[in-house]
Structure 1
């Protein structure tokens, strides 16, 4: 079976083609992604229009080879979700193909499991719009903890605006590089002293708005004093923000692992590309005698392949989305999805 996947929950349009020759072993045929950056540095509309045909050409797949068209049903931003749902519906009607609406979060999880080989991990899902600690049980992905306000990726992105860090290639990536400079500049390899930021873990949940507000205040004080924020101060602010936020995520992930008796932790979502987060999570897992599983930016960052893969798994169990029901929603909980392709 072959599926075409369309992802568009935020500022990235992903188009992917995937094959399941044995229902569960995925073969990636094409994985194209276009990112809208404001202000646009290129013709975003043209890139969006060319993406689906480009993926078909790259994969050498004909229309008649495609079994189903999978699209992001939610969660995400309203306008991008509507655009992708409309595109998927149009292609399905033009080509006479069946539709499968996919939960964006489940797409990340299943793609991570397929790429890394993780069997039954606790999942840390961290992105610009979502922060959740998840574990599988009885054909559902159960949410053990999550953010109470903004997502950790949103926190990083918004602080990048405060520091006037460029959007290219991504705000969070640029914050990560500045944080590395703070560590590299420490004398004799000594640990960098962190700035005082709120550590907000509440049971199994986190809060990031207070950390962001405090970091913004510190940045404003430096700006008022110097008229600009010197590069070393920027680096220290970024390092302190990362260390505090990621420590919170490691704590609630470890608690979930202890609760379910898991030895594996899988990090997915756009923030999952962050090398420092991967390192901190790896140290925690190692101390527990476990292992951390992670992917690179091809699969961490929103992409069409994850939608095609999760959609094809559901399609193989008989899931179909009727054209008249091919809607989208900004609020689509991870634990709402019946995971019929798993029975472990």
Structure 2
């Protein structure tokens, strides 16, 4: 039996979670919310994390009902992510690990999402669509690695949605992507947008520039809701196409959607239609586990720890660029 505590702070979500042999004991989170029309900057986000991390840590320990002596391993997000927020939370993880005299494990943020999704949904060996504010990848497991079959060549799909929400001055509470989704449900007119799939890769920056120009005609030719609807339909169709191609290549009959954008019900609906046509099964989770959280870091770290992975103190650092396929997956056959 392994009890792991996980610290996540790679972007605007600060999360601390505790897990004991696949049983969720605590999943506590704070979100840094900026005013409408503004994104979150590294320095201010790091300040938010530093201000709240001790409160969230105490909350997680209380919720779990555990004592410090019950913790077996401390896990933290090593990367990828925004530098200052990553470091601010990693310092706390390193400090408590030394104070508590516990081993420490650095976790790849992307793999944290994948392993949490596999745990919650019970998917066995899915083709994974990882979509968030900072990452967009189509992934499948093979020979001790999570292999990237396709990815964005510029900005992430979540970043594309968030930046359009800023143009429309939509609220960042609870998230700009969520508010885009609610607007899209009211859209009636489809406005054609660029569809940019290049082999197995996708591109969103040109779509964003194109729709920014279209926003000047809101109220004349179309509504903001029409543009939100059109943007979602276009970018999600691109993601479904590349995911289906990866499924075909791998002979897969499972799809798992992870990452913050994975909460989007329209994306789940479109992917579900494709899966049904292929006699495949779609797996997805809700906002408790899709959105960045400390629990996913705890779970992925625990899996690595149980398989014999250890980390030297000098290696307990952060990196903004830490690719999914760099990690040796010691816990899977």
Q: Aligned residue for 1:8?
A: 9
Q: What corresponds to 1:215 in structure 2?
A: 211
| 2:259 counterpart of 1:254 | no
Deviation at 1:47, TM superposition (A): 2.9
What is the aligned partner in structure 1 of residue 313 from structure 2?
Answer: 323
The one of 160, 180, 191 equivalent to 2:185 is: 180
Q: How many residues align?
A: 321
Shift of 1:38: 1.6
Which residue of 314, 324, 327 maps to 1:334?
A: 324
Q: Distance in 2 between matches of 1:310 and 1:289?
A: 30
1:162 aligns with 2:167: yes
| Aligned pair partner of 2:125 in 105, 114, 120 | 120
2:9 & 2:205 partners in 1: Cα distance? 26
Distance 1:193 1:58 in 2: 47
Deviations, residues 223-276 of structure 1 (Å, cap 9, x unaligned) = 7x69xxxxx701000000000000000000000000000010000000000000
2:225: which partner in 1? 235
Residue by residue, what CA displacement relative to the aligned partner does 1:285-331 show, whole Å, maximum 9, x if unpaired? 00000011000000000000000000000001111222222100000
Query: Alignment partner of 1:318: what SS?
Result: coil
Unaligned stretches of 5+ residues in structure 2 = 41-46
Of residues 243-252 and 44-53 in structure 1, the stretch that sits farther from structure 2 once superposed is 44-53
2:185 is paired with a residue whose SS is helix
Aligned twin of 2:57: 52
**2:151 matched to 1:146?**
yes
From 259, 263, 288, the equivalent of 2:278 is 288
Quote how far apart the aligned CAs of 1:46 are. 4.1
Partner of 2:256: 266
Find the structure with the greater CA-based Rg: 1
Contact 2:177-2:261 at 8 Å conserved across structures: yes
The CA distance in 1 between the partners of 2:332 and 2:53, in whole Å, is 34
244, 251, 254: which one aligns with 2:234:
244
Corresponding residue for residue 314 of structure 1: 304
Alpha-carbon distance between aligned partners in 2 of 1:222 and 1:339, rounded to the nearest angstrom: 48
Q: TM-score, normalised by structure 2?
A: 0.94
1:105-164 Cα offsets, whole Å, 9 max, x none, are: 000000000000100000000000000000000010000000000000000000000001
Offset of residue 88 of structure 1 = 0.6
**Structure 2 matches for 1:64-75, cutoff 5 A?**
64-75=69-80
Q: CA RMSD in A?
A: 1.4
Distance 1:216 1:170 in 2: 20
Q: From 109, 129, 133, give the equivalent of 2:134.
A: 129
What residue is the counterpart of 1:171 in the other structure? 176
Structure 2 match to 1:33: 29
Aligned-partner SS, 1:178: helix
Any idea what SS the aligned residue of 1:16 has?
Answer: strand
Q: Distance in 2 between matches of 1:325 and 1:123?
A: 28
Asked whether 1:82 is paired with 2:87, we answer yes
SS at match of 1:134: strand
Q: Distance in 2 between matches of 1:193 and 1:36?
A: 34
The CA deviation at 1:7 is 0.4
CA distance in structure 2 between the partners assigned to 1:320 and 1:60 by the alignment: 27
User: Which residue matches 2:112?
Assistant: 107
Q: Residue 188 of structure 1 corresponds to which residue in structure 2?
A: none
**Which residue number corresponds to residue 185 of structure 1?**
none
Q: What are the Cα deviations for residues 8-32 of structure 1, in whole angstroms up to 9, with x where unaligned?
A: 1000000000001xxxxx0000000
Structure 2: how far apart are the matches of 1:46 and 1:105? 25
Q: Which runs of 5+ in 1 are unaligned?
A: 21-25, 183-191, 227-231
